[in-house]
A and B are shown apart, each in its own frame.
Chain A
Amino acid sequence: MHQKTIAYRWFTTGNTIFLAVLAILCILPLIHVGAVSFSSSSAATANRVYFWPVDFTAEAYLRTLTNPSFLRSLLFSVERTVVGTLFSMFLTVTAAYTLSRSFAGRSFYAWFFVFTMLFNGGLIPTYLVVTQLELTNTLWALILPSAVNVFNTILMMQFFRAIPKELEEAAHIDGAGYIRSLVSIYLPLSLPSLATLSLFAMVWHWNSWFDGLIYMTDYRKYPLATFLQTIIQSGDMRNTNIDPGQLQILSERTVRSAQILIGALPILIVYPFLQRFFVQGLTMGAVKE
């Protein structure tokens, strides 16, 4: 169907090479850091490492994973991700179900939710609300302020709306109320969407670092992302309440690289699953007829 002119063939070859280089450029920095993390400390400091480990050793990982501060942050991040995802998925599903029904009051709720996407109180007032509720240094400071994700709620709502009304009407005739039809009809039918949104929520929680930095005054309560942020930024005098001895060890180049990779690992693991879904998720809610 396509004209196979010579010019077009040249273009195809050039295009293939260009795209291949572009794609590899997206992953090359990560490979470099990975190579450094598996190299000996002396090779790394002498800048002899490129894209393959020099003097292969897993010592950096050993030192990272036996470091109590690192482990504590890692565990706290896992806890935060699990609790935070469950909590916010519960809110997403319940709010989305109400927003997907037609009843008096729906448009009030809709605007109540959407307005928070358009305008916000900003950093300082939010910070003061969280501190005045005395959530500082608790898990809830990382979960509650961002628990309602309006964007996810809208996606879920649109999914619920696509489920044929007849199913719910039939259930109503059989005597099922709203809650019953949510649990027995809507939830089972929307498991794929639930899985997608949960994955996104997990990635979000795992990656969040700024809330940990401002709401946790005790560095022992830093989630991993915040902990890494502090280690990586340790060249600055901005935020260093981690004790200097540990900072020294943890900021060595190979160990720092190992930590970066461990921090990225969960994302790399769920990435193939994410990729299957996000195209669909993105086109959902875009242009409507």
Chain B
Amino acid sequence: MTEGKKIRRGLFRHLPLHLIILPSVICLLIFNYAPMAGLVMAFQDYKPRLGLLKSAWVGFEHFQYMFTYPDSLQVIYNTLIIAAFKIVANIVVPIVFALLLNEVRKLVFKRFVQTLVYLPHFLSWVILGGILTDILGNKGIINQLILLLGAEPVFFLGDGTWFRVTVIVSDVWKEFGFSAIIYLAAMSGINMSLYEAAEIDGAGRFKQTLHVTLPAMVPVILVVGTLSLGNILNAGFDQIFNLYNPLVYKTGDIIDTFVYRVGLMSGSFSFATAVGLFKSVVSFVLIVAAYRLAYRFGNYRIF
């Protein structure tokens, strides 16, 4: 049998496999790969009526503008600050929570806690945004409590500094339970004889946590930590969009919300695409680097 015949026979034998994956491939081509090609508009002065082919080329003009325009620099800075705090808090808080939950011996109580803390993860930021706007408002229940304690009301969503705090804390509130699952899973895999050995050596519960539980969790923590590096420019579009207002644009506006307003609201397609492309490229580099690191640290693979 010649090479060509072999390949043709292979294609024919596996034809059903190619056919059934085709719809997904077409969807990805149109809605994921075609937009990637559309990124060239970041180097153009894109006019919808001229299209991609006839719009004028401007080279790196939009990128130069982005790095000299105070607003866009501020937006990049806001994104980094908010995302960095979220990344750290969303690793530390779930670990502490998982360690505390691990000490609970009563299964019924453990389930009760788990059921409640996982719930906010599944509610959208539209719902949670509505709830937070209600309870954090000037006359909301939180400010009533603050007044009761004799302090001044806080403008959680109207004051620049407080806005960032609110965004970070509410994100941790929404996600800490769900993020703890992976650590709880890691803990349940620890060999009980390690604890018994530690106990014989005279270690109390605290020392056991320090010398048995935590070391066993290090690989998982490293994997989660490195993978979250890819999120350094993801400050949480859904959340910010549903909580912010013009009063806090200075400290709360992030790349994604900026791209939405500049691009879709004001119609500066090319500039917004350039800002978006900047974000995609940085994220891409970080994700690839993070996966390589995660593979080395924790033998993590997606395929």
Query: Which A residues have a C-beta under 8 Å from some C-beta of B?
Result: 1-3, 5, 7-8, 11-12, 15-16, 18-20, 22-27, 29-30, 32-33, 36, 47, 50, 90-91, 94-95, 97-99, 101, 103-105, 109-110, 112-114, 116, 118-130, 133, 144-148, 153-154, 177-179, 182, 203, 207-210, 214, 225, 228-229, 232-233, 235-236, 238, 253, 256-257, 259-260, 263-264, 267-268, 271, 274-275, 278-279, 282-283, 285-289
| Residue in contact with B199 in the complex, picked from A1, A97, A144, A279, CB distance below 8 Å | A1
Give Cα A289–Cα B302 distance, bound, in whole angstroms. Answer: 12
CB distance A179 to B20 under 8 Å? Answer: yes
Given contacts A15-B100, A122-B280, contact A129 B182 (CB under 8 A): no
Contacts of B276 in A (CB 8 A): 122-124
CB distance B104 to A116 under 8 Å? Answer: no
Contacts of A119 in B (CB 8 A): 36, 280, 284
For the A-B complex, the count of residue pairs with Cβ-Cβ distances under 8 Å equals 269
Most buried by B among A236, A260, A268: A260
Query: Which B residues have a C-beta under 8 Å from some C-beta of A?
Result: 7, 10, 14, 16-18, 20-21, 23-25, 27-28, 30-39, 41, 48, 97, 100-101, 103-105, 109, 112-120, 122-124, 126-127, 129-135, 139, 141, 144, 173, 177, 181-182, 185, 195-196, 199, 204-205, 219-220, 223, 237-238, 241-242, 245-246, 256, 259-260, 263-265, 269, 272-273, 276-277, 279-280, 284, 287-288, 298-303
Contacts of A123 in B (CB 8 A): 256, 259-260, 263-264, 272, 276
CB distance B14 to A104 under 8 Å? Answer: yes
Contacts of B48 in A (CB 8 A): 128
Contacts of B141 in A (CB 8 A): 32, 47, 50
The minimal Cβ–Cβ distance linking B212 to chain A, given in whole angstroms, is 13
CB distance A26 to B173 under 8 Å? Answer: yes
CB distance B126 to A275 under 8 Å? Answer: no
Besides A94-B21, A121-B280, 7 more A-B contacts (Cβ < 8 Å) are: A118-B288, A130-B31, A145-B31, A178-B14, A274-B122, A285-B302, A288-B301
| Residue in contact with B299 in the complex, picked from A112, A178, A287, CB distance below 8 Å | A287
Q: Which 10 A-B pairs have the closest CB atoms?
A: A121-B35, A125-B38, A122-B276, A207-B124, A125-B35, A98-B21, A23-B116, A95-B24, A94-B20, A178-B16
